[in-house]
Amino acid sequence: MRMRRMLGALAVVLIACTAAGSSSALAGKAKEFTTQFDLQDCTFSTTGRNPYFILEPGHRLVLKGVEDKEEVEVWITVLPEKQEIILPGVGHIMTRVVEEREWVDGELDEVSRNFFAICAQTNDVLYFGEDVDNYENGEIANHNGGWRAGVDGATPGLIMPGRFLLGSRYFQEMAPGVALDRGENVAMGLTVDVPAGHFTNVVKVLDTTPLEPNSVGIKLYAPGVGLIVDETLKLVEVIDPSN
């Protein structure tokens, strides 16, 4: 998932929002980030949705914004493709492929194929890895940032819990030395306006990683839609084949 351009201050996201929830999760003694998700108790599905994350083929989000004085556009598309993941002690898990395409000043910068599945028992969406193509001058330059659960010590993370609880902290990616992204649920009940529309009951997640201890990213999710703000990027279009 897109985490390369993380921001050092929360104020950089300039959106009009009001909170019915609170950010008290940031106060007091910090809790540990959850690393165990009881995967052995899950029946996994490649298709479905929880309130803030959708895995239905054809669903697409388009976000645009400016980062470091560059125009950035990201397409997040749920593909009809699936990817099998083999986890020691758990077995074979079929996942859904979600593609992210990112353009910087009109040039293709990155394409990633992310692997997700939904746990039927909890409605959690688990993250099982990604294949990454990084581009320079129109050509694939490297595959930095790619990882896969079950390979080189990597294990699945939680990308979006089925029940959004304030103060919850969890690893989204667990690939030692490659991807250790973490999420913290810090607000809910927000009202947010972006180019794609007016959204209520929005939730806010802070993204951090021990690989970049001083960096913080912000993501906002709307019910029935998914990601509507990613740091400075805002949702401009959503395609929902179920409508």
Residue 193: its pLDDT value, please? Answer: 98
Q: What is the pLDDT of residues 211-235, one digit of tens each?
A: 998 889 999 999 999 999 999 999 9
Residue 4: its pLDDT value, please? Answer: 45
* Cβ atoms of residues 163 and 151 within 8 Å: no
* Cβ atoms of residues 194 and 17 within 8 Å: no
CATH, domain 10-239, list 3.30.420, 3.30.70, 3.40.5, 2.40.360: 2.40.360
Could you give the CA distance from residue 94 to residue 203 in angstroms, rounded to a whole number?
28
Determine how many CB atoms are found less than 10 A away from the CB of residue 191. Answer: 14
For the chain, first and last CA: distance in Å? 26
Is the per-residue pLDDT at 143 higher than 90?
yes
Q: What is the pLDDT of residues 58-107, one digit of tens each?
A: 999 999 999 999 999 999 999 999 999 999 888 999 999 999 999 999 99
Q: What residues have CB less than 8 Å from 113, skipping those under 6 apart?
A: 79, 83, 97, 98, 99, 130, 131, 132
pTM: 0.88
Shortest CA distance to 224 belongs to which of 53, 103, 71?
A: 53
Residues 3-22: what's their mean pLDDT? 41
What are the residue ranges spanned by the domains of the chain? Answer: 10-239
Q: How far is CA 187 from the centre of its chain?
A: 16
Q: Name the token pair of 18.
A: 């009001």
Q: How far is CA 63 from the centre of its chain?
A: 13
Shortest CA distance to 74 belongs to which of 116, 22, 123, 109?
A: 109
Residue 43: its pLDDT value, please? Answer: 95
Rg (CA), the chain: 17
Residue reference for tokens 């913080």: 216
One-letter-per-residue 3-state SS of 156-190: CEEEECCCCCCCCEEECCEECCCECCEEEEEEEEE
Burial (0-12, 13-18, 19+ Cβ within 10 Å), 113:
middle
Residues 146-167: what's their mean pLDDT? 96
Q: Name the token pair of 21.
A: 């929830």
Is the per-residue pLDDT at 15 higher than 60?
no
Q: Which amino acid is residue 48, in one-letter code?
A: G
Burial (0-12, 13-18, 19+ Cβ within 10 Å), 155:
buried
Q: What residues have CB less than 8 Å from 46, skipping those under 6 apart?
A: 55, 82, 94, 95, 96, 117, 118
